[in-house]
Amino acid sequence: MVSPHGAAESGAMRPSIDLPPDSMVAPSRDVAPPGRPKLLVRVRAAIQMRQYSPRTEEAYVQWIRRYIFFHKLRHPAEMGTEEIQSFLSDLAVRGNVSASTQNQALCALIFLYKLLGKDIGVLGDVVRAKRPRRLPVVPTEEEVDHVFAHMAGLVLLVCRLLYGSGMRLLECLSMRVKDLDFQRNEITVRDGKGRKDRVTLLPAICLPGLIDQLGGVQRMHENDLRDGVGRAPLPDALARKYPNADREWSWQFVFPASSLYTDRRTGIRHRHHLHESVIQKGMSQAVRRAGLTKPATPHSLRHSFATELIRDGYDIRTVQELLGHQDLSTTMIYTHVLNRGGRGVRSPADRLPLRPRPSLDGLSQRAVLGRPSGRPNTEP
């Protein structure tokens, strides 16, 4: 067998790596040959078995690829702690990546070596990127209203939902018809961050726009059914448990894409939800037209939602539940945005009425200081 470096090898065969010369090949390249599956095929299978999100799968596979190419196509089973340290340190020093990016690469490599059954020990000599503590960008109520004045149509409806419910952009776009409750004015967020469900607000100002949106989506869905398509992708194994559920109206996306796509695993043509870039570009254009100096994004509307609730005096635990935060300290960051102290507490001294300072004419200085006039000072 010839090694990736060109030298002939003898003895035991090296583990196979399914890496093409171009690292930007589409994900469908990882086709396992007969016999032992190749490395990235095993990685993908392990990630899917643990029901990680498709984005996590693609991120982990790309980091493993970069790690292997960084070490000249050496197999990870032949490397260990020293090679991991050099790769992560290079990301921080030469790549100048953020702390979260370096941490994502580390998580991908830890997952890889757990899959290989190899202990990588303690990575104590890694040059870690410094994680800054930053406050979120929070547009004020007036700024949000000014930005919304430069929006229209679908972009305005989605951004109003983000500002009025505190949802993340992807949570909003992946919302299905069955998740809307118009009687209770509630939205059920399914499979949010951390694969958790929660219930949040359905703003009353969005009801007319949502009703019009659902009417247009229903007409498009009926046309798709007549054309033999009209199938929405279902989570997990629901498609096998309920074979016809993907054609039902309740499972369709509230904000569907304008075109169909073919699932590379099943070969079925689906209509997915609208891509996030459509709303991101619309928000960017509105911010620029409004002359807003803050770098506001659709996610900034979520920050504004939380900040306004805390400003209105709602309990921090209620805000945590609506946002879907696992840790209360994540929600507490919005109290720092308000100029009311580190814990969002108003000083009791600020509630005292402001009175003019009493004149010393006709009063003794001791009376002003709290001692009755005419009484001798017997205090030490």
> What are the domain boundaries of the chain?
27-116, 148-276, 285-345
Q: Cα(187)–Cα(272) distance, rounded to whole angstroms?
A: 20
In the chain, pLDDT over 70 holds for what percent of residues? 77
State the Cα–Cα distance between residues 378 and 380, nearest whole angstrom. 6
For residues 255 and 173, what is the distance between their CA atoms, to the nearest angstrom? 6
Per the CB < 8 A criterion, the answer to whether 302 and 272 are in contact is no
Confidence (pLDDT) at 20 = 46
Q: Which fold has domain 27-116?
A: DNA polymerase; domain 1 (1.10.150)
In the chain, the percentage of residues whose pLDDT exceeds 90 is: 45
Amino acid 288: pLDDT? 94
The tens digit of pLDDT for each residue in 301-359 reads 999 999 999 888 888 899 989 998 888 888 888 877 665 544 455 667 766 776 666 55
- Are 149 and 289 in contact by the 8 Å Cβ rule? The answer is no
**How far is residue 364's CA from residue 198's CA, in Å, rounded to a whole number?**
64
Tokens 């469900």 appear where?
A: 197
User: Phi and psi for 256 in degrees, rounded to 5?
Assistant: -80, 160
DSSP assignments along 268-283, one per residue: -EE--BPPHHHHHHHH
Active-site positions read 168, 193, 299, 302, 325, 334
Rounded to whole angstroms, how far apart are CA atoms 355 and 25? 74
pLDDT at 58 over 90: yes
Residue with tokens 């074979």: 243
Is it the case that residue 12 has pLDDT exceeding 50?
Answer: no
First to last CA, the chain: 97
pLDDT digits (tens, 9 = 90+) for 110-164: 999 999 988 887 776 666 666 667 778 889 999 999 999 999 999 999 999 999 9
Going from the C-alpha of 337 to that of each of 19, 140, 307, 377, the distances in angstroms are: 47, 11, 7, 48
